[in-house]
């Protein structure tokens, strides 16, 4: 344990001073203006990518220690996700940072109306343990791109990865602008007493409320990436073998500890039977007949969570799986049937390798079931029938939707990732990360044009009916034809004109020759 960590873990009055000093130090670094420079931001993003490239082995080892995470999952679902987000942001940042010009009204027609992009300042990122590398660091990419300084607090539940982050971040990123704080509830509580300019939290709705309460003290804007129960609807129009594999993969990677894992399945009895028949074969093919010996399954993060998930097995009949080894924090990938809608497994977020199936008769019943509950983080729909897809899309609300696959929507940089209602507020990934950490500052730059000033002078007293009418008309929103096709029309016009011109020139040259 580093000296800093030791100090952070001792609950002494000195600690208060330490946190105040920590945030003040980072604020001073922000006020120096370094992070506002685009060159600096790009350098830091490249350095962060280097961290992921050069320290891959250390990161994978830490993830294996914390969660028994297989190397393939560590690389594909943590390290590569972080790297490609950086690449995407680096490829686009020059365009994103440009001030946005907006059209004027008649009164300000001679002036400039511009939206500038300001960084918020000092950002606090609180990460969760289930993707313990990706979740605390992915928001950092966006915060850097937008020009902020960041204090990162990885989860104490994944201590090996938290240590890797604490050790490596200062080696690669500017140590004045980017700090890592390790610790648990008491450290988070102390951090939350400080004044930040933005707080980005990933975790449970329960702690999300605590974070929001703390943020209210300073009216700090927050993004809350929370959890909940993500439903999955499936009908018999699909290729069941392909669908089953996609569902089982999304559910059982990371041993079900994924915020957007399908939480439960809604389908008819006959679809359930087909799905279970195939799922039995697929799980055997993937994890063998003794899944606890498979190198491709993670472990549950803590005894407390393993006990919690094991209890869910009593909420229905295991059609597949059901084995538990609490000492090893292992729960076999399990599919539960005959599950009452009011049982624990259907009222709490599962966050583990248990997939309950609830029988419904139609897509309408699925809509009713989903809308009677909190708004989910993701809604999965498996059907090839586009009218059913549209019906479910238009009549439910969720943070995101993915049709005919699980998890893969997360890989599309252009799709913002975030929840709605109980599953969170705000979004990130790609451009959404840049936007999240950017304040769009409106600015009107007026000039001393005489005509404009004459128009503007109508606002000054003494007031009159005619002045009011004149200004009301000037400030009205007038419909204007869209000019977006103008460049094409001009190009087309120039094309035709050049053909005529070429013909005329050819004619003239021909006459000369005669």
Catalytic entry in 73, 187, 225, 332: 225
CB of 205 vs ligand NAD, minimal distance in Å: 7
- Please give the Cα distance from 413 to 411 (Å, whole number): 6
Catalytic entry in 60, 177, 182, 259: 259
Instruction: Please report which helix (H) or strand (E) contains residue 267, including its range.
Output: strand 264-267
CB of 336 vs ligand NAD, minimal distance in Å: 19
What are phi and psi for residue 334, nearest 5 degrees? Answer: -130, 140
Interface with ligand NAD (CB under 6 A), residue from 148, 155, 222, 383: 155
Interface with ligand NAD (CB under 6 A), residue from 68, 188, 396, 400: 188
Query: Residues 252-281: x/- map of binding to ligand NAD (CB under 6 A)?
Result: -------x----------------------
Q: Which position's Cβ is nearest ligand NAD?
A: 227
Pick the closer one to ligand NAD by CB: 259 or 336.
259
User: How many residues belong to the site for ligand NAD (CB under 6 A)?
Assistant: 26
Q: Counting contacts by CB under 6 A, is residue 312 touching ligand NAD?
A: no
Quickly tell me which residue has 């583990």 as its tokens.
352
User: Which of 23-31, 35-43, 49-57, 125-133 is the region at the interface with ligand NAD (rule: CB under 6 A)?
Assistant: 125-133
Q: Counting contacts by CB under 6 A, is residue 130 touching ligand NAD?
A: yes
Half-sphere exposure of 401 (CA within 13 A, CB side): 16
The answer to whether 182 is a known catalytic residue is no
Pair 75, 56: CB distance under 8 Å: yes
Pick the closer one to ligand NAD by CB: 186 or 404.
186
Interface with ligand NAD (CB under 6 A), residue from 351, 369, 379, 382: 351
- Please give the Cα distance from 295 to 286 (Å, whole number): 10
Q: Helices H, strands E: what count in the chain?
A: 20, 18
Q: Counting contacts by CB under 6 A, is residue 226 touching ligand NAD?
A: yes
Neighbours of 409 (CB within 10 A): 16
Residues in region 34-93 near ligand NAD by CB under 6 A:
none
> Could you tell me the CA-to-CA distances from 504 to 201, 493, 495, 500, 507 in Å, in that order?
69, 16, 14, 6, 5
Burial of 465: CB neighbours in 10 Å, binned 0-12, 13-18, 19+: exposed
Interface with ligand NAD (CB under 6 A), residue from 377, 381, 402, 427: 377
- Please give the Cα distance from 126 to 113 (Å, whole number): 36
Q: How far apart are the first and last CA of the chain?
A: 96
Site residues (vs ligand NAD, CB under 6 A): 126, 128-130, 135, 155-157, 184-185, 188-189, 202-204, 207, 210, 225-227, 259, 349, 351, 377, 419, 424
């Amino acid at each position: 344990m580093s000296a800093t960590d030791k100090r952070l873990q001792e609950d002494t009055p000195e600690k208060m001073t330490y946190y105040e000093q920590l945030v003040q130090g980072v604020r001073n670094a922000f006020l120096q203006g370094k992070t506002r420079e685009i060159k600096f931001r790009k350098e830091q993003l490249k350095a962060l990518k280097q961290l992921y490239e050069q320290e891959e082995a250390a990161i994978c080892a830490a993830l294996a220690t914390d969660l028994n995470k297989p190397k393939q999952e560590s690389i594909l679902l943590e390290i590569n996700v972080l790297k490609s987000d950086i690449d995407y942001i680096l490829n686009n940042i020059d365009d994103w940072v440009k001030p946005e010009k907006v059209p004027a009204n008649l009164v300000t027609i001679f002036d400039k109306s511009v939206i500038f992009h300001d960084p918020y300042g000092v950002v606090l990122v609180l990460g969760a343990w289930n993707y313990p590398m990706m979740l605390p660091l992915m928001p950092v990419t966006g915060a850097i791109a937008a020009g902020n300084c960041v204090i990162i607090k990885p989860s104490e539940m994944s201590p090996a990865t938290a240590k890797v982050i604490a050790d490596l971040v200062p080696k690669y990123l500017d140590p004045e602008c980017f700090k890592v704080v390790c610790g648990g509830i008491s450290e988070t509580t102390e951090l939350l007493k400080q004044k930040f300019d933005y707080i980005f939290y990933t975790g449970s709705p329960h702690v999300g409320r605590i974070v929001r309460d703390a943020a209210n003290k300073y009216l700090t804007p927050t993004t809350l990436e929370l959890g909940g129960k993500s439903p999955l609807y499936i009908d018999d129009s699909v290729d069941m073998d392909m669908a089953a594999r996609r569902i089982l993969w999304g559910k059982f990677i990371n041993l079900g500890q994924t915020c957007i894992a399908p939480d439960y399945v809604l389908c008819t009895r006959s679809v359930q039977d087909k799905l279970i028949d195939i799922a039995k074969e697929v799980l055997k093919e993937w994890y063998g007949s003794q899944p606890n010996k498979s190198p491709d399954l993670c472990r549950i993060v803590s005894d407390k969570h393993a006990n919690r998930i094991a209890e869910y097995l009593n909420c229905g009949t295991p059609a597949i799986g059901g084995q538990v080894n609490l000492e090893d924090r292992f729960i076999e990938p399990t599919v539960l049937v005959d599950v009452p809608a009011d049982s624990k497994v259907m009222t709490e977020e599962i966050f583990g390798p248990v997939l309950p199936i609830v029988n419904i008769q139609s897509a309408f019943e699925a809509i009713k079931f989903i809308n009677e509950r909190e708004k989910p983080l993701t809604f999965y729909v498996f059907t090839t029938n586009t009218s059913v897809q549209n019906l479910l899309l238009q009549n439910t609300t969720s943070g995101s939707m993915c049709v005919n696959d699980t998890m893969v929507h997360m890989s599309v940089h252009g799709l913002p990732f975030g929840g709605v209602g109980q599953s969170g507020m705000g979004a990130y990934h790609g451009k959404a990360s840049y936007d999240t950490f950017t304040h769009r500052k409106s600015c009107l730059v007026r000039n001393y044009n005489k005509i404009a000033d004459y128009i503007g002078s109508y606002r000054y007293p003494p007031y009159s009916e005619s002045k009011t009418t004149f200004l009301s008309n000037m400030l009205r929103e007038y419909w204007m034809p869209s000019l977006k096709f103008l460049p094409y029309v001009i190009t087309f016009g120039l094309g035709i004109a050049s053909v005529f011109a070429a013909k005329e020139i050819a004619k003239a040259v021909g006459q000369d020759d005669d």
